[in-house]
Amino acid sequence: MKKAIPAVILLSLPFVAQAQSSVTLFGLIDAGLTYTSNAGGNHSFTEQSGIQAPDLFGVRGVEDLGGGYSTLFVLDGSFSLNTGAQNGGGIFGRESYVGISTPWGTVTLGNQFDYMYDNLSLARWGNQIPYVSLYQLPDGPFSKLGAPLGTFDYTRIAGGQATNNTVKFTSNNYAGFNVGAMYGLSNLAGAGGTDNMSSFGANYAAGPIRLDAAYTFARQDSINDGHDGIRNFGLGGRYDFGKLALDALYINTHNTFNGAHVDTYEVGALYSFAPDTYAYLQYIFADGNEVLTDNKSHQIGLTLDYLLSKRTDVYINGIYEHASGGSDVFAAISGAPGTSTTGNQTVVRVAMRHLF
């Protein structure tokens, strides 16, 4: 049972070359019923998909070249289970890349996630991540920040959007350390200094403890004609006591043009009642500066998860957020079906998930 849902991590982690050539189809579906106390001014009862994990379908492959070298590729798409529609602008709009693995590390090119997601979500949570809901990621009253997806995923740890035209190098592990660097090209003639992205990351793991760091600066054409953008950096980690694992995270998000700034703090705990029963409890505090009229949000969330089999689980989410500040104050739980018209929002969900 312990190996069941943690396999979900493999659907999102950077590809690790195996010992032989292969092509694998993979997927994940998640569906359930959600109650929201205030979504656009009214309470709602909706069917939502892709909350505990995104609905995915993809193909990945590896060819062993010998001598510690191999080629690899990933074509990964996200879709809405309830409508069948593709998310992300294409059949493989989530991630699509090709690369080569060497004795020193892996180089990949294509549409890829940066190290805010790789290090501060996938690596930091590790085997906890199957029990962390989309609802338990940062969101809130920070629309004036100017992030590319609005208030959703302003920290970049939700994997809300990969970056086009990237080249990425992630080193192998050395004495528990690994590092990485990534660059996204604008692909526009004469615009090499605008509309680009750079990202760096570092991880350390030793026994029950791990530490993770990441930095990303993404210039956007909507911010000062691509000369400025959103800069994120963060530090986090996890300590595993056995049945109990504790995690913590700090993220600094800054608009380099208008000075809007949010400091986000998170602490969480995963407890295993049994090999098939888990609970994840988390608290997030996000603090905006004067450009954001000192808007703030407090959020607490609980996920209870029960494994029915090696590939199927059922779960319950309960999330509450309170927002306050000077103006334009609203509660916005990540992934909720709508933004609250007040400073408070509650979401309760019952659902199931299946991977294949």
| φ, ψ of residue 293 in degrees (nearest 5) | 50, 35
Q: Among 15-29, 125-139, 156-170, 297-311, which stretch is predicted with the lowest mean pLDDT? A: 15-29
In this predicted model, what pLDDT tens digit does every residue of 219-265 receive, in sequence order? Answer: 988 899 889 999 999 999 999 999 999 999 999 999 999 999 999 99
Q: Domain limits at 37?
A: 5-355
Domain total in the chain = 1
**In whole angstroms, what is the distance from residue 185 CA to residue 198 CA?**
9
DSSP run (H or E) holding 116: helix 115-117
**In whole angstroms, what is the distance from residue 224 CA to residue 119 CA?**
29
On average, the pLDDT of the chain sits at: 92
**In whole angstroms, what is the distance from residue 163 CA to residue 114 CA?**
7
Which CATH number characterizes residue 210's domain? 2.40.160.10
- DSSP states along 194-212: SS-EEEEEEEEEETTEEEE
Specify the DSSP class assigned to residue 15. P
| pTM, full prediction | 0.91
Mean pLDDT of 5-15: 44
pLDDT of residue 3: 39
Q: Quick one: which of 302, 347, 344 has its CA closest to 322?
A: 344
The label of the residue with tokens 């292969």 reads 22
Q: Quick one: which of 341, 350, 352 has its CA closest to 43?
A: 341
Q: Give Cβ neighbours of residue 240 (< 8 Å, ≥ 6 apart).
A: 208, 209
